[in-house]
């Protein structure tokens, strides 16, 4: 049974990596997925791949830090489908910025905060405007274990941004629950989602990798598909009485 049949879902930063895994998971459950990303060429390739796999999808070029672009895309989705059921704010990450304190410049801080936190705010505001008028919807924000623990492969700018995402999630969930809008977050630990993460992981060396894995009760890193499964659950009716929380998908790492 498809848990998200005929629902319309926007996933930001979803032309590749974890966002693409989330888009596929939503599509598998019957949702019509709207891919958004800043990479136009990658969007085209991703849409073709999704359609070849039998998923319903379309894409928009969108920079989440530019509010006018966000408004345009959300308005286009509303005009075409008459609704928006699900928003997943996945655009973000450390964005190839340094993680050592002395190497972090103001431009690095601004970039990470803008994409992860301001971008999430812009998209949430547009989604809430649509969802409040239609009687409800579900928003899932991608946070990180770093938001309430510490980062392994990123700097303080990333930790601060993701902590802000969790605060935003709680406040919006409280403010808009009466309108039937559920707002939650998912907090992964290290997940092999791209070349940069893989590179930083390899830089640790075998001894440091083993030390990291020993701090994870399940003794392994997560996969993008495991994070996507949590997002699908929170977006579905199975989570109909869940809002305002951050779900750790970290193999129990937070226990250490």
DSSP letter assigned to residue 31:
P
Pairing relationship of beta strands 8-12 and 32-37 according to DSSP bridges: parallel
In the residue annotation, 149 being an active-site residue is answered as no
180 C-beta neighbours (distance < 10 Å), count: 14
What residues contact 101, with CB distance under 8 A and at least 6 apart?
Answer: 155, 156
Q: How many residues comprise the chain?
A: 256
Distance CA 205, CA 99 (A): 17
Catalytic pick among 55, 149, 158, 241: 158
Distance CA 75, CA 68 (A): 11
Instruction: Judge whether 149 and 253 are in contact, CB under 8 Å.
Output: yes
Distance CA 124, CA 10 (A): 11
For the annotated catalytic residues, the residue numbers are 158
């Amino acid at each position: 049974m498809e848990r998200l049949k005929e629902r319309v879902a926007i996933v930001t930063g979803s032309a590749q990596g974890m966002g693409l895994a989330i888009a596929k998971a939503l599509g598998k459950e019957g949702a019509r997925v709207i891919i958004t990303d800043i990479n136009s060429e990658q969007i085209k390739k991703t849409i073709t791949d999704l359609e070849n796999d039998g998923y319903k999808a379309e894409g928009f070029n969108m920079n989440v830090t530019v509010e006018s672009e966000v408004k345009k895309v959300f308005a286009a989705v509303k005009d075409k489908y008459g609704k928006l059921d699900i928003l997943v704010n996945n655009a973000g990450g450390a964005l190839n910025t340094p993680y050592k304190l002395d190497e972090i410049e103001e431009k690095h801080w601004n970039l990470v905060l803008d994409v992860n936190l301001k971008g999430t705010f812009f998209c949430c505001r547009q989604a809430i405007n649509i969802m409040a008028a239609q009687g409800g919807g579900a928003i899932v924000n991608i946070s990180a274990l770093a938001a309430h623990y510490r980062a392994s492969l990123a700097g303080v700018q990333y930790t601060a941004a993701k902590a802000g995402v969790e605060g935003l999630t709680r406040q919006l969930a409280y403010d808009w629950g009466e309108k039937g809008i559920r707002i939650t977050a998912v907090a992964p630990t290290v997940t092999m989602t791209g070349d940069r993460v893989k590179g930083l992981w390899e830089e640790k060396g075998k001894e440091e990798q083993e030390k990291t894995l020993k701090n994870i009760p399940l003794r392994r890193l997560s996969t993008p598909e495991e994070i996507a499964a949590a997002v699908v659950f929170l977006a579905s009716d199975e989570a109909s009485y869940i809002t305002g929380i951050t779900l750790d998908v970290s193999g129990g790492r937070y226990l250490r």
